[in-house]
Amino acid sequence: MSLGIVMMLAGFFLFAANDTLGKWLLGTFTVGQIMLVRAVVGLSIILPLIVRGGVTPIRSQPKPWLQVLRGVLSTLEASLFFWALSTLPLASVMTYYLAGPIYVTALSPWLLGEHVGWRRWSAVCVGFFGVVLALSPSGDSLSFGAFCALAGSFSYACFMIATRKLAGTSNAVLMGWQLATALVFGIVMVASQGWTPPSQIDALLLAVLGIGSLAGNLCVNLALKLAPASVVVPYQYTLIVWGILFGYVVFGEVSDIKTLAGAAIIVGAGLFIFLREQQLQRQKRRQAAV
């Protein structure tokens, strides 16, 4: 179980480091170019796994239209994340994205047919208050970056819902659709915005960006296999700690008190929702065993 916790911590450390590197590279390259290179690197790694598995998993995949939609949502949330990073502090963007699980709970009665009781609805409302507090709505705060962060976090929530609906599909097929969609998006964006030739160091960093994303996902998947979700999932909120630290050390960003308070509220609401869902699942298992 302790190894599962270590892998979850490592996964979200990699995500935070990867996001920091992405923000750094945005000073030189467009979002489209970063998405294109990430997709090419990711496909070069995952394609052998898809080929080894043969065409049967691809032909027999459930709900192909939902696979495509999930890939589009993945590309949308990633590109919006990078656009938000180009203008907002690292910790602020991560704060908005941590609200994703709260949006999932709010949408689940309509998109997943799940019952949400008054306790979780209360946590959803508190979580939304945390988002509003972190955003601090005003003429200055409602910027392009803030809009991208909010739209991206909502897209991320829809992506997670689509992933739930595709439970049982092989990871290789899921990742293949994600990367293929990102590849198409990157090609279109680069064709319209142009290509900035990277130096050898920048080319290496762009490759690391693609590898880091896959490595983070691998660590999280291993964590969920090595330990119960109820043990390891709460550690995802270490992402905001790394965001604050990397933002300060690398970019000299200092989060204001409203952003920190909003982040704390969002984390608290997200943890309550998760723990409540785990409690309800245990109750259902006990009732089924009777």
Give me the pLDDT at residue 58, please: 60
Give me the pLDDT at residue 17, please: 94
Instruction: Give the C-alpha separation, 287 to 272, whole Å.
Output: 23
Q: Is the pLDDT of residue 139 over 60?
A: no
Give me the pLDDT at residue 138, please: 55
Q: Is the pLDDT of residue 137 over 70?
A: no
Please write the tens of the pLDDT for every residue from 161-203.
888 888 777 777 788 888 899 999 999 999 999 999 999 999 9
Instruction: Give the C-alpha separation, 158 to 64, whole Å.
Output: 17
Give me the pLDDT at residue 60, please: 66
Mean pLDDT of 258-268: 91
Given a contact cutoff of 8 angstroms between Cβ atoms, the answer to whether 274 and 234 are in contact is: yes
Which tokens hold the place of 55? 């065409």
> Between the ranges 50-54, 134-138, 164-168, where is the mean pLDDT highest?
164-168
Mean pLDDT of 212-238: 84
Give me the pLDDT at residue 90, please: 93
Mean pLDDT of 229-246: 87
Please write the tens of the pLDDT for every residue from 13-40.
999 999 999 999 999 999 999 999 999 9
What mean pLDDT is reported for the chain? 87
Mean pLDDT of 269-290: 85
Q: Is the pLDDT of residue 41 over 70?
A: yes
Instruction: Give the C-alpha separation, 287 to 290, whole Å.
Output: 5
Give the count of beta carbons closer than 10 Å to the beta carbon of residue 279. 12
Q: Cα separations (Å) of 251 from 71, 212, 244, 254, 258?
A: 31, 20, 10, 9, 20
Mean pLDDT of 43-51: 82
Would the pTM of this model clear 0.85, i.e. be above it?
yes
Give me the pLDDT at residue 261, please: 92
Instruction: Give the C-alpha separation, 140 to 136, whole Å.
Output: 9
Instruction: Give the C-alpha separation, 245 to 104, whole Å.
Output: 28
Give me the pLDDT at residue 252, please: 95
Q: Is the pLDDT of residue 55 over 60?
A: no
Give the count of beta carbons closer than 10 Å to the beta carbon of residue 18. 20
Give the count of beta carbons closer than 10 Å to the beta carbon of residue 198. 17
CA dihedral of residues 184, 190, 195, 200 (deg, nearest 10): -30
Burial 30-52 (b: 16+ CB within 10 A, else e): bbbbbbbbbbbbbbeebeeebee
Mean pLDDT of 266-290: 86
Question: Confidence class of residue 54 from pLDDT cuts 50, 70 and 90?
Answer: low
Give me the pLDDT at residue 184, please: 95
Give me the pLDDT at residue 222, please: 84
